[in-house]
Amino acid sequence: MKKKKILKVFIAIDTTDLTKVKKIIAQSQTNKIKIGYKFGLEFMNSKRGRQFVSKLRNKIIFVDLKLNDTVNTMLSAVKALKDLKINYLTVHISSGLKALKAVKKVAGSRLKVVGVSTLTSLDNKDLKIIGYNRSVKNLVALQAKLAKRAALDALVCSPFEVNIVRKIFKKEIITPGVQIGKKNYDQKRSMEAKKVNSDWLVIGRSVTRGNIKKNIQKLIKSL
């Protein structure tokens, strides 16, 4: 089967320096692929991070908080974000079916709820240490089934589980652990962008370090 063309990329904002963030956004604009921006815990918890996101307009915004708590706490967190014009929000699938369904219901139709499967920083050995008796692939398959039952809008998995997830979960797949080159920073299950068959790629330092415009062009050519 011919590899699916990737036309959508979330750029991971891995700094709280607003000058750098503005530069990343300005220099990553292109009409060749669809670009969104991922803001994580560090940025959203920073002094001016939330305010910055609240003022962004005409951008696809992915807030990666990986919510994982009691049902009521998770619902309160989602409600507290409703004033922001964000498009995607992550929750851990391991929070359970009841929590996932509740979050999906309160999120409404505008905010897409994204289930996070097994982190790309973990491998089979790590899972065993923390008490899981399944392999990464088996665990992710189980998590994909749970995401489907909860009617989530999208699912996050590593490049190595995309094909497994796609057989189970028919909505958007978002894939971190993606690099333009072969350098793989802190992720154990990473892959070059050109080899990934997903709906959205998440790419951070491969784009944001060095010449951003050149990195974007390099990325486009690799896809």
List the structure tokens of 164: 């497994």
Q: In b/e form, how buried is each residue of 181-205, taking b as 16+ CB within 10 angstroms?
A: eeebeebbbbbbbeebbbbbbbbbe
Annotated catalytic residue, options 23, 59, 66, 213: 66
Distance CA 56, CA 178 (A): 25
- The answer to whether 32 is a known catalytic residue is no
Q: Which residue numbers are catalytic?
A: 66
